[in-house]
Structure 1
Amino acid sequence: MPSAVSELPEAQLRGLAADYRAAVAVKRRRTALGLVILLAATVAAAWMGEVDLTKFAQNFWRFPSYFVAITPQLSLATLWHDLAEWMWGIKRWGGLLLDTLLIAYVGTLLGAVAGFTLCFLASANLVRSRTIVFIARRFLEFCRTVPEIVFALVFVLAFGLGPLPGVLAIAIHTTGALGKLFAEVVENIDQNPVEGVVASGGSWVEMVRYAVVPQVVSNFVSYALLRFEINVRGAAVMGFVGAGGIGQDLIEAVRKFYYSDVSAILVLIIVTVMAIDYITEGVRRRLIGREASR
């Protein structure tokens, strides 16, 4: 039976082999150049950060030793008594945790609404004016570039201590983060429904309402839930600058070396965040599954 594989002429094979070797050589040079740049950037960052490996090695033991120090002393014979003594402030901490969750919830809600409004103005496929798109995108960049803790510190100086600075800080940062993500989703939609609404005489608002929103709403909700998870962790830190929540008690316990209180508060925060992550992850999976089944 004759072979179905035909051999190329020797000259053509040599040419293809030479092209292959040249392509491999180019790829290797690019990889080597990338590694050199990465190494140079690492060395420069270490120099600017005054990294001292000797000092790091000598003092690394302090990191695990702190966690050993805050570990509660629990005995099986007196377990309930030890747990009650460890969690002596559970009522107060539980209330502060609820404040933290509310700060994250309200901040996420306000930021999601603002990001939802601005994302359409930042989408180049919906807005013809390059100026409007440019301004909307730069504003969103500003909102998400400035750290939340900086916004919180500014608002504490403006409005005083309490949850309001934390809510405003999270809302502004969430506006920038979600606005960026929402705009990317909008720019990847199917344009046929948009063209249909425009062709039938619909206004820009009607086009967004009936042709864009139905395509993106599930992704928007999924991103908003993911952001809520992040904001719960962020809200726990807002208290470091007096912006409400459990963070204020945590930083006070750290500064005063109340080791058992530090570990108790950390455990409460970790358990709360894990529960929220688990719940929102299930909701996001259902939303993504419904969207994929369409």
Structure 2
Amino acid sequence: MSVSLASPAIATFERRRAELLSQRRRATLLYGGLLLLALLVSAWVSEVSPAKIAEGIPRFGEYFAQTIPHLTWQHLFAGTQQEGSLAYWFYRLDEWAWLLLQTANIAAFATLLGAAIAFVLAFLAARNVATRPWLAAGIRRLLEGCRTVPEIVFALIFVWAFGIGPLAGILAIALHTIGALGKLFAEVIENADLGAADGVKCAGGNWVQQMRFGVLPGIAPNLLSYAILRFEINVRGASVIGFVGAGGIGQELYAVIAQNYYEEISAIVVLIIVTVALIDLGSERLRRGLTETTR
């Protein structure tokens, strides 16, 4: 009796399951077709074609081959005057090292400045702790504007206003950092447990004291972790905005590219990669240490 009753139920289940699978396949084909159409339209608008890619790849390879230094084993560790040596390849290492230090300083100072301002704005923009919803909405739009405009656009504006040099780079990266970290900080605050803040409020604490003693202790590790991650990103950004005269190693890299000093291009790129990798490794260990101490 139970078997006879179960059989129609199983048949109904299998039929419904087949219908759902069929609907899912049709939806997948529909959305896949729309995505493919969108990609084709984007490629057409962007003037991207397989023929252009096939034509450009050999030229890219030729340019890359010219940047490879002509090192020889017998002269590898010779002096700066000997062609084929590492010292000859990095013959301006002292100048480039100073510019890399300048780039790191631009990123560090811009990150500190941007994070400090983003920290303040985030408490005003977080919906769960904001005292005035209209102010929170306005600050969120401000943060969106700061992070939407590319850093290099800000750098061009500040170079025009303040002249060529690191100041333009610091302001450009700091402004973009305010928008990026402001959003992340606000989301951390919105996900925070407000129980301690309510306790401070019941004890007579004002809004600032509620944020300071009720919210900040629980979210400080996350805020610091995001700030360190942003510093890593800003080091790369500081290397790029130098192309428009905002100081750092990017300005030197643009100069050697413009003058087709191929081996110098590869030397600077290698130094940038090594510097960013070391900063990434150090920042990753610091973030991991922060995470472990808060568990």
The interval holding the TM-score normalised by the smaller chain is over 0.9
Gaps of 5+ in 1: none
Shift of 1:8: 6.3
1:91 and 2:94 equivalent? yes
- The superposition leaves residues 120-161 of structure 1 with CA deviations (integer Å, 9 ceiling, x where unpaired) of 111111114321121111111000000000000000000001
Which residue type is aligned with residue 47 of structure 2?
A: E
Aligned residue for 2:132? 129
- % identity of equivalent residues: 48
Aligned residue for 1:161? 164
Which residue type is aligned with residue 132 of structure 1?
A: L
CA RMSD of aligned residues (A): 1.7
Aligned residue for 2:48? 51
Shift of 1:264: 0.8
Which residue type is aligned with residue 269 of structure 1?
A: I
Which residue type is aligned with residue 38 of structure 1?
A: L
1:227 and 2:230 equivalent? yes
1:287 and 2:290 equivalent? yes
Aligned residue for 1:197? 200
Aligned with 1:188 (options 186, 191, 205): 191
Which residue type is aligned with residue 76 of structure 1?
A: W
- The superposition leaves residues 5-49 of structure 1 with CA deviations (integer Å, 9 ceiling, x where unpaired) of 999623332333333233323333332232122112101110110
Which residue type is aligned with residue 215 of structure 1?
A: G
- The superposition leaves residues 34-88 of structure 1 with CA deviations (integer Å, 9 ceiling, x where unpaired) of 2122112101110110112112212211112222110111111111231121111
Shift of 1:275: 0.3
Aligned residue for 1:41? 38
What TM-score results when the alignment is normalised by the length of structure 2?
Answer: 0.93
Aligned residue for 1:118? 121
Which residue type is aligned with residue 143 of structure 1?
A: C
Counterpart CA distance in 2 for 1:6 and 1:97 is 77
1:9 and 2:6 equivalent? yes
Match of 1:60, SS?
helix
Q: Alignment length, in residue pairs? A: 288
Counterpart CA distance in 2 for 1:218 and 1:181 is 13
The structure-2 alpha-carbon separation of the partners of 1:197 and 1:169, relative to structure 1 and needing over 3 Å to count, comes to same
Which residue type is aligned with residue 74 of structure 1?
A: L
Shift of 1:202: 1.7
Aligned with 2:29 (options 22, 32, 48): 32
Which residue type is aligned with residue 99 of structure 2?
A: L
Counterpart CA distance in 2 for 1:125 and 1:135 is 15
- The superposition leaves residues 217-248 of structure 1 with CA deviations (integer Å, 9 ceiling, x where unpaired) of 10111111111011001101121000000111
Match of 1:124, SS?
coil
- The superposition leaves residues 240-277 of structure 1 with CA deviations (integer Å, 9 ceiling, x where unpaired) of 00000011110110111101110111111111000000
Counterpart CA distance in 2 for 1:128 and 1:18 is 55
Which residue type is aligned with residue 46 of structure 1?
A: A
**Bigger CA drift: 240-249 or 36-45?**
36-45
Shift of 1:289: 1.7
The structure-2 alpha-carbon separation of the partners of 1:26 and 1:198, relative to structure 1 and needing over 3 Å to count, comes to farther
Which residue type is aligned with residue 189 of structure 2?
A: V
**Bigger CA drift: 116-125 or 30-39?**
30-39
What TM-score results when the alignment is normalised by the length of structure 1?
Answer: 0.93
Counterpart CA distance in 1 for 2:35 and 2:51 is 23
1:251 and 2:248 equivalent? no
- The superposition leaves residues 159-215 of structure 1 with CA deviations (integer Å, 9 ceiling, x where unpaired) of 001100000000000010011111111111112222222222221111110111111
Aligned residue for 1:67? 64
Which residue type is aligned with residue 268 of structure 1?
A: L
The structure-2 alpha-carbon separation of the partners of 1:183 and 1:57, relative to structure 1 and needing over 3 Å to count, comes to same
After TM superposition, which residue ranges in structure 1, 4 or more long, deviate above 4 angstroms? 5-8
Which residue type is aligned with residue 175 of structure 2?
A: I
Match of 2:77, SS?
helix
Which residue type is aligned with residue 62 of structure 1?
A: R
Aligned with 1:170 (options 168, 173, 181): 173
The structure-2 alpha-carbon separation of the partners of 1:36 and 1:12, relative to structure 1 and needing over 3 Å to count, comes to same
**Bigger CA drift: 273-282 or 10-19?**
10-19
Which residue type is aligned with residue 253 of structure 2?
A: L
**Bigger CA drift: 182-191 or 157-166?**
182-191
